[in-house]
Structure 1
Amino acid sequence: MIDHLDHLVLTCTNAEATTKFYTQVMQMQLETFGAGRIAFRFGNQKINLHVRGSEFEPKAHLPVPGALDLCFIASVPLDQVVAHLAACNWPIIEGPVERTGATQKIRSVYVRDPDLNLIEISELMG
């Protein structure tokens, strides 16, 4: 019945800090849509942004910053991701470590975004 994820909604406390993280550190493309809404595009998916207290309707029952645990598959080798994070002075809190992904084993590093969501960045292991 379900084919793929189109988008998810991230609730933040500081839109500027969140935009900087997802566009500079995560290298996603900034997109604007609707009446001044913003999203971060990567591949065929995107993350729509809500600011706490100014969410768009309908919204999650309890939209709170810092409640997400997301895993992204990188388009470059994980060693390049690690080097990029170092160049951005963004701390890795764990990794590289091996994990089990949706379709196969992955090698991952973990960081936190400005709202302390857990962000896993991974490469597929052959």
Structure 2
Amino acid sequence: MLEIILQQRYYITAVLLFSIGFVTLFLHPNLIKKIIGLNLMDTAVFLFLASMGYIEGGAAPIVEEGAKATQYINPVPDGLVLTGIVVAVSTTALFLALTIRLYRQYHSVNLDVILMLAWEGKAEE
């Protein structure tokens, strides 16, 4: 049993990270914590993709004479992870900028307070 867990440690870690990020994203009203939860979910997906392309004892995918295709590490997940990191940084920057604007408008980063103040503002109009 322990051997199976050790073989699957990257997948188990990815699922745990994704679960923690998911719970943080949906249960905390604080916008900063929601952004952190989203980043945890991103990291879990990156770990999962990178571990899918890894082969124990594998070599870089430079074709050599006499080598089998099963001996090479798959480069596609690495490219997906690099692209995903760029997208994750961009969305984090966007969400942080929006959070700053909401804080300047409502003087809170608590989503419940922001929604309550937004509804009060609409009711007065």
Bin for the TM-score computed over the shorter chain: under 0.3
User: More strand by proportion, 1 or 2?
Assistant: 1
User: More helix by proportion, 1 or 2?
Assistant: 2
Larger radius of gyration, structure 1 or 2? Answer: 2
Q: TM-score, normalised by structure 2?
A: 0.22
